[in-house]
Structure 1
Amino acid sequence: MGDDVAAQEFTPADRTRYREKVRRCLDVFERMLRESAFEAEDPWTGLEVELNLVDDAGDPALRNEEVLGAIGDPDFQTELGQFNVEMNVPPGPLADGGLKSYEKHLRDSLNEAERRASSVGAHLVMIGILPTLAPEHLTAKVISSNPRYALLSDQILQARGEDISIDIPGTERLRTVVDTIMPEAACTSTQFHVQVSPERFASYWNASQAIAGVQVAVAANSPYLLGKELWAETRIPLFEQATDTRSEELKAQGVRPRVWFGERWITSVFDLFEENVRYYPALLPVIEEEDPLTVLEAGGTPNLQELRLHNGTIYRWNRPIYDISAGRPHLRVENRILAAGPSVVDTVANAAFYFGLVRAFADSERPLWSQMSFSAAEENFYTAARHGIDAELYWPGVGRVRATELVLRRLLPMAHEGLAAWGVGAEEAHRYLDLIEQRCLIGINGAAWFTRRMAQQQTDDRYDALRAVLAEYRANMSANRPIHTW
């Protein structure tokens, strides 16, 4: 969830100084986009996976500190909840076996992490929302010990001025009120990163937005929350509501939420950072000593720490990232749309589908976003989140069409073309994209499998049924079986 921040209190003067510093960073960033050499000659990709911890029975294991101590690998880090950890996969190029390298690294690291976590009574699960979560797991006492998380929760509740209402009408309906952002911890995701030049950023971000609904449809994996069957990808409405700083009155006035799909196609990465500064007050107004203009004019690369921290508290589903590597700045699109799981090979298949499609559409002579409205892309996103593999989506030149038919007839060939442009070999591309094809032919993804298995359970106790199906899920996940074979 971003950089560590020490526990502290903020005064009105702190917020005033922070706003001035953020705007100074934004001015320097604008100048850098015109003048600086951003790293983009050999674009890399990357991914992060957020994981849940369960005990032997399948209930949440509140032991992330013990687990991280046992794993002893800096690639694994804390997350918001004590039942969460995050794994960062080293970035690299897709060419010459990049996808297979991701799969191998994920498998090897997770297998070893599972072995070590089991020594302290915990197990790793890749799933969007842990279905055995109960209300007592979404309280302030379950927040991880890193001061950043409690501080962020306090600031969101303070900005909102009242408790947070969660109301998700789905197959069933969930209504609850919380006094912490802990429901956000229920949302575990896979995040894909694409490094791009400033000149190409808008094309990649727009393409990512345009295909978001299709991504969710084929990979939804979060059907249950607090014992209720809700949306195929319940993470989407839950994350939006759990971090909402707006009161009902501010919503009615049209104030933008902090978890946001967006409202328009962009022409520059600057559009997104400028919107973040213009629309959103600071949650964590921590000021560093660096003067970014002085650093830039001295020939250095400014950290722009205030701008980056502010950006990290605005949760766009496709987030712009400014970062520095080996002293040179670079830009990334962070695709935050998908749930974790079901298996490692499924995760890499989702990555192959995204990387291939986004490259194909970004390189297209006639941009997809010139053929469809932004509101249509947004509607696709929420329709897919609600209905998953059964969703009907709008597509230019086709109208409304089943997501599975759209993928099979139009998008898989484009994903193959995009992967080829990245330098991925045909055999490697088929290994992963064929899994997407099978999901669409059978009509299955993680959410559909879980709800179907739940319907077959004989017990009247919902949580006993959830534990039983989760045990099956864990066994298939551990064997690295693709979801269409379960």
Structure 2
Amino acid sequence: MGQEINLTLFNDDHFAHFHKNLQLETQHLKSVIEQKQLSELPPTAGFEIEAWLIDDAMQAAPNNASFLQNLNDPLAFPELAKFNIELNGVPKRLTADVFSTLHKNLLATWDKSCHHAKELDNHILIIGTLPTLKPSDMTLANMSDMNRYRVLNEQILNARGKPINLDIVGQEHLKFDHYDVMLESATTSLQLHTQIPLTQAHHFYNASIIASAAIVASCANAPYLFGKSLWHESRIPLFEQAIETGGYGGAAHGPLKRVSFGSDYARASIMECFQENLEHFPVLLPELFDDPIDNFEHLRLHNGTIWRWNRPLIGFDADHTPHIRIEHRTPSAGPTIIDSIANAAFYYGLTIDLSNEIMANGIPLPFTQAKDNFYQAARFGLDGNIVWFDGNKQNLQKLIQTDLLSRARKGLQFLQVDHKDIDTYLGIMEQRIANKQTGSQWQRQFIQQQGKNFQDMTKAYLAHQYSELPVSRWDIS
């Protein structure tokens, strides 16, 4: 959801004081990292899953205030649009029966959420982009009633100085202008969090960057937007363009973008990302806090307005020791709860294995190549071709089958995850890759066979989602 703020009107003094506090907290974080005072607890897994509220006609239903009030669950939050919600998992040590436990807990929240949605004559849908969404849904009237979103909208549009130009070329071409940040609400994701020991944090961050291509392709679930067939994972260009504003030195067209793949690996320390935040990105939400400097309130709020696809975060252990989390933002939401847990298992296992390799042998892929791989994978899915460690171009489906699934298994074994959990959730990924049936592929096959009826497709998708059968086993009906 992002951190709520109390004020909606700010003056130059607010921005100046915030920036001064941000400088102090960034310097303090640097000192804390250099003195190795951040948490070294073993890896811990958590997640956020964004979802849609839709009505019986499969249209977006702007009811999240009523839904959340009735649900009254501390794990559920509003998102930017009134037709979006966020469900959170309870963090768990990344070992033993972690995935079956996360699955069980999420299903309990999910079942309760679906029950309360039905009381409003609504349904909950987990999908990357809603196929029935209309441009007319993207209005400020459908923005959730939170100060954070109103101020972000104002500040981003002020920084741009012109409308948002959406221009995505995929199988078809989508191009139009929009006048607020509501386009961002058309993207719903599974955000995977990993609390990682400080000594491993920048290696895990770099590994997450390298893993991004395989994850975004294997979890693709967003081929359609406003009736157009675009990328396998259209969330990627949509989110980047919906909040397209840069850093210092050029406003909307600055050298660094607030939504991006990032500018480089963290070469020596995860601190490099927070230093870049300070040096390159103007403050958007200058809310002032009186908390002690070691709460990092200004740094954390500022960091929450910079949306790298792999984003380092500052959190706290139970004893208030600060820790590093890496938030991986590339997977779509859905198609089912069990698919979501399988996506998490593949990501955690693959990234841990790559992290171990990086620590042993150094970074095996230039950053520019990892970045190019990511966008190729987002556009073409499992049909994409990327350049891997040997410098040769490889088909993604084949690479995942012949190398990356076994790496993921090795990574989970290193974490001492239960063999049953490994077999169950990586088995789902193995079948999905073998069948080459991601959520995006299923949606495209449905439209090819049944015609361009997005309402019927969404109804069929919803029925399959309720069945809890993995997407690899869905038929076209």
TM-score by length of 1: 0.94
Say which is worse superposed, 323-332 or 56-65, in terms of deviation: 323-332
8 Å contact from structure 1 (residues 207, 369) kept in 2:
no
8 Å contact from structure 2 (residues 127, 332) kept in 1:
yes
Deviations 1:318-371 (A, max 9, x none): 101101232221110011111100011111111000000111111126667622
8 Å contact from structure 1 (residues 265, 369) kept in 2:
no
Q: Which residue of 1 aligns with 2:81?
A: 81
Q: For residue 377 of structure 1, what is the amino acid of its counterpart?
A: A
Q: Which residue of 2 aligns with 1:314?
A: 306
**1:9 corresponds to 2:9:** yes
Q: Which residue of 1 aligns with 2:386?
A: 393
**1:149 corresponds to 2:141:** no
- Aligned residues with identical type, % of pairs: 34
Q: Which residue of 1 aligns with 2:100?
A: 100
- Cα distance in 1 for partners of 2:41, 2:457 equals 47
- Cα distance in 1 for partners of 2:261, 2:62 equals 31
**1:471 corresponds to 2:464:** no
**1:443 corresponds to 2:432:** no
Deviations 1:426-451 (A, max 9, x none): 22101111111112211110001001
- Cα distance in 2 for partners of 1:413, 1:335 equals 21
Residue 400 of structure 1 and its aligned partner are, at CA, apart by 0.8
Q: For residue 96 of structure 2, what is the amino acid of its counterpart?
A: D
Structure 2 counterpart SS, 1:52: strand
Q: Which residue of 2 aligns with 1:357?
A: 350
Q: Which residue of 2 aligns with 1:280?
A: 281
Residue 12 of structure 1 and its aligned partner are, at CA, apart by 1.8
Residue 254 of structure 1 and its aligned partner are, at CA, apart by 4.9
Say which is worse superposed, 207-216 or 428-437, in terms of deviation: 428-437
How do residues 269-348 of structure 1 correspond to structure 2 at under 5 angstroms? 269-292=270-293, 302-326=294-318, 327-348=320-341
Unaligned runs of 5+ in 1: 293-301
Residue 212 of structure 1 and its aligned partner are, at CA, apart by 0.4
8 Å contact from structure 1 (residues 361, 368) kept in 2:
no
Say which is worse superposed, 169-178 or 10-19, in terms of deviation: 10-19
8 Å contact from structure 1 (residues 53, 60) kept in 2:
yes
Q: Which residue of 1 aligns with 2:24?
A: 24
Unaligned runs of 5+ in 2: none
- Cα distance in 1 for partners of 2:72, 2:470 equals 29
Q: For residue 58 of structure 1, what is the amino acid of its counterpart?
A: M
- Cα distance in 2 for partners of 1:254, 1:155 equals 15
Q: Which residue of 2 aligns with 1:298?
A: none
Structure 2 counterpart SS, 1:456: helix
Cα RMSD over matched residues? 1.7
- Cα distance in 1 for partners of 2:80, 2:197 equals 32
Distance 1:371 1:446, change over 3 A: same
Residue 291 of structure 1 and its aligned partner are, at CA, apart by 4.6
Structure 1 counterpart SS, 2:450: coil
Q: Which residue of 2 aligns with 1:90?
A: 90
Residue 137 of structure 1 and its aligned partner are, at CA, apart by 0.8
- Cα distance in 1 for partners of 2:397, 2:420 equals 23
- Cα distance in 2 for partners of 1:426, 1:392 equals 31
- Cα distance in 2 for partners of 1:392, 1:35 equals 43
- Cα distance in 2 for partners of 1:151, 1:235 equals 23
Distance 1:65 1:369, change over 3 A: farther
Structure 2 counterpart SS, 1:203: helix
Distance 1:369 1:254, change over 3 A: farther
Q: Which residue of 1 aligns with 2:364?
A: 371
- Cα distance in 2 for partners of 1:282, 1:320 equals 18
8 Å contact from structure 1 (residues 259, 314) kept in 2:
yes
Residue 260 of structure 1 and its aligned partner are, at CA, apart by 1.4
- Cα distance in 1 for partners of 2:75, 2:104 equals 15
Structure 1 counterpart SS, 2:217: helix
Q: Which residue of 2 aligns with 1:434?
A: 427
Distance 1:252 1:360, change over 3 A: same
How do residues 258-277 of structure 1 correspond to structure 2 at under 5 angstroms? 258-266=258-266, 267-277=268-278
Deviations 1:49-83 (A, max 9, x none): 00011001111011001111221211110000011
- Cα distance in 1 for partners of 2:411, 2:161 equals 47
Deviations 1:110-163 (A, max 9, x none): 111101111012110010111111011111111001121111111111111111
- Cα distance in 2 for partners of 1:469, 1:88 equals 27
Q: How many residues align?
A: 471
- Cα distance in 2 for partners of 1:422, 1:30 equals 29
- Cα distance in 1 for partners of 2:362, 2:129 equals 31
Q: Which residue of 1 aligns with 2:38?
A: 38
Residue 264 of structure 1 and its aligned partner are, at CA, apart by 1.5
- Cα distance in 2 for partners of 1:414, 1:7 equals 48
Distance 1:114 1:164, change over 3 A: same
Deviations 1:68-105 (A, max 9, x none): 12212111100000110000100011322110011111
Q: Which residue of 2 aligns with 1:122?
A: 122
- Cα distance in 2 for partners of 1:251, 1:162 equals 11
TM-score by length of 2: 0.96
- Cα distance in 2 for partners of 1:111, 1:31 equals 45
Deviations 1:18-63 (A, max 9, x none): 1111000001111111235323323311011000110011110110
8 Å contact from structure 1 (residues 213, 380) kept in 2:
yes
Residue 197 of structure 1 and its aligned partner are, at CA, apart by 1.9
